[in-house]
C-alpha cells in the first residue's frame, strides 16, 4: 500500500452502499483515479461535505497495487466554486468541461495540461466571464491538447491561404470537420471528389474562433468580431462532436437546435 496525495477535480460520483461514495477524479499529477470514499455520508468522515463537483480538492489516498479502486483517506477543499451551482448556464457549462475531461482521460493516463485547462475554465465559470466564451476557449484548448485543433485561418490540408468568398458583407469559407477545418478552394474540391463532407462557415465566425483559440495569445489585441458567441460555439461544438465521434450528453440540448451557421 502506498500513500499518495494530489489536487483533484471530481468527474463523476456514484453512491455506493448505505453511506459510501465512489468518485472518479482527474488529478494534477496522477491522471485519472477511481476512489472509494467509505462512509462519505457520515458526519464523522474526514471528507464529509468536501466531495462536491466543480471544487478543486486536495485528496489523500491509499493505492493498492493491482486494484483499480483506491481508498480515499482524506479530502480538503482547495478552491470552492460556490457560484457555479447557483446559475443554470454556468452550471451546465461546468458540467460540459467535466464531461469532456471524463470522455478522454483514461484510467492510468496522465494529462497535466488538461487538468490545468479544466481548472482554469472552472475558475472562469465561477467569475463574471460569459459562460459561452469560457466554453469556446476551453473546447478549442481541449482539442489542441488532443492534437485535434481545427484550422481556422489557413487551409487544413495544404496550410496555404484559404480565402472566403460569397456575397459582400457575408463571405463564407469551405470547412470540413473530416478534413480538420477550413479548406482552400482546391483542397475543398479534392475533398468533395473523394466523398468527404465539406460545408461552409461564415468568415466572421472562423475569425472569432481563431481569436479565442489558445495559440492566438499574440493576436489577442484584435477587436472581437460582431458575431454571436452562440454561433461560434455552434461551430466549435460540432467540430468537437465530430472529433469525439459522438455527441457528449451535455451538448444535446445545445446542438439539437438547427445549425446556427447554415447558409
Could you tell me the smallest distance in angstroms from the CB atom of residue 100 to Zn ion? 29
Which residue, 143 or 187, has its beta carbon nearer to Zn ion?
A: 187
Could you tell me the smallest distance in angstroms from the CB atom of residue 238 to Zn ion? 21
Q: Which of 145, 123, 148 is nearest to 134 (CA)?
A: 123
How far is it, in rounded angstroms, from Cα 24 to Cα 69? Answer: 9
Which residue, 143 or 151, has its beta carbon nearer to Zn ion?
A: 151
Which residue, 87 or 154, has its beta carbon nearer to Zn ion?
A: 154
Which residue, 157 or 243, has its beta carbon nearer to Zn ion?
A: 157
Could you tell me the smallest distance in angstroms from the CB atom of residue 35 to Zn ion? 48
Site size with Zn ion, rule: CB under 5 A: 5
How far is it, in rounded angstroms, from Cα 37 to Cα 192? Answer: 53
User: Dihedral of the CA atoms 56, 62, 64, 67 (nearest 10)?
Assistant: -30
Residues numbered 142-161 forming contacts with Zn ion, rule: CB under 5 A: 155, 157-158
* Percent helix, strand and coil across the chain, each to the nearest 5: 40, 25, 35
**Cell numbers found for residue 77:** 477543499
Residues numbered 168-187 forming contacts with Zn ion, rule: CB under 5 A: 184, 187
Strand 2-16 relative to strand 56-63, pairing? antiparallel
Which residue, 111 or 157, has its beta carbon nearer to Zn ion?
A: 157
**Contact 83/238 with Cβ under 8 angstroms?**
no
The enclosing H or E element of 213 equals none
- Helix axis angle, 131-145 relative to 229-244, nearest 10°? 30
**Cell numbers found for residue 70:** 483506491
Which residue, 42 or 197, has its beta carbon nearer to Zn ion?
A: 197
Could you tell me the smallest distance in angstroms from the CB atom of residue 173 to Zn ion? 11
Could you tell me the smallest distance in angstroms from the CB atom of residue 154 to Zn ion? 8
- Does residue 78 interact with Zn ion by CB under 5 A? no
**Cell numbers found for residue 234:** 455552434
> Considering just the CA atoms, what is the radius of gyration of the chain in Å?
21
Could you tell me the smallest distance in angstroms from the CB atom of residue 207 to Zn ion? 18
In a 13 Å sphere around the CA of 199, the CA atoms on its Cβ side amount to 11
Which residue, 52 or 154, has its beta carbon nearer to Zn ion?
A: 154
Could you tell me the smallest distance in angstroms from the CB atom of residue 168 to Zn ion? 24
Residues numbered 2-61 forming contacts with Zn ion, rule: CB under 5 A: none
Within 10 angstroms of residue 27's Cβ, the number of other Cβ atoms is 23
- Whose cell is 465512489? That residue is 22
Could you tell me the smallest distance in angstroms from the CB atom of residue 149 to Zn ion? 17
Which residue, 185 or 222, has its beta carbon nearer to Zn ion?
A: 185
* Residues found near Zn ion in the complex (CB under 5 A): 155, 157-158, 184, 187
Amino acid at each position: 500500500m502506498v500513500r499518495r496525495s494530489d489536487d483533484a477535480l471530481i468527474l463523476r460520483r456514484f453512491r455506493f452502499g448505505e453511506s459510501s461514495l465512489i468518485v472518479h477524479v482527474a488529478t494534477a499529477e496522477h491522471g485519472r483515479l477511481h476512489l472509494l470514499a467509505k462512509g462519505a455520508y457520515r458526519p464523522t468522515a474526514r471528507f464529509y461535505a468536501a466531495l462536491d463537483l466543480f471544487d478543486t480538492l486536495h485528496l489523500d489516498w491509499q493505492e493498492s497495487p493491482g486494484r483499480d479502486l483506491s481508498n480515499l483517506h482524506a479530502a480538503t477543499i482547495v478552491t470552492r466554486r460556490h457560484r457555479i451551482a447557483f446559475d443554470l448556464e454556468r452550471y451546465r457549462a461546468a458540467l460540459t468541461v467535466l464531461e469532456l475531461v471524463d470522455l478522454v482521460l483514461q484510467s492510468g493516463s496522465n494529462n497535466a495540461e488538461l487538468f490545468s485547462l479544466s481548472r482554469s475554465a472552472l475558475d472562469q465559470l465561477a467569475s463574471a466571464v460569459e459562460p459561452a466564451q469560457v466554453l469556446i476557449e476551453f473546447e478549442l484548448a481541449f482539442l489542441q491538447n488532443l492534437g485535434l485543433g481545427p484550422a481556422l485561418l489557413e487551409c487544413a490540408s495544404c496550410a496555404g491561404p484559404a480565402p472566403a468568398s460569397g456575397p459582400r458583407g457575408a463571405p463564407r469559407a469551405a470547412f470540413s470537420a473530416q478534413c480538420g477545418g477550413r479548406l482552400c478552394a482546391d483542397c475543398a474540391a479534392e475533398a468533395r471528389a473523394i466523398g468527404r463532407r465539406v460545408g461552409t462557415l461564415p468568415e466572421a465566425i472562423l475569425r472569432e474562433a481563431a481569436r479565442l483559440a489558445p495559440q492566438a495569445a499574440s493576436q489577442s489585441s484584435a477587436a472581437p468580431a460582431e458575431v454571436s458567441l452562440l454561433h461560434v460555439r455552434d461551430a466549435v461544438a460540432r467540430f468537437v462532436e465530430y472529433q469525439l465521434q459522438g455527441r457528449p450528453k451535455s451538448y444535446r440540448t445545445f446542438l439539437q437546435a438547427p445549425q446556427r451557421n447554415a447558409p
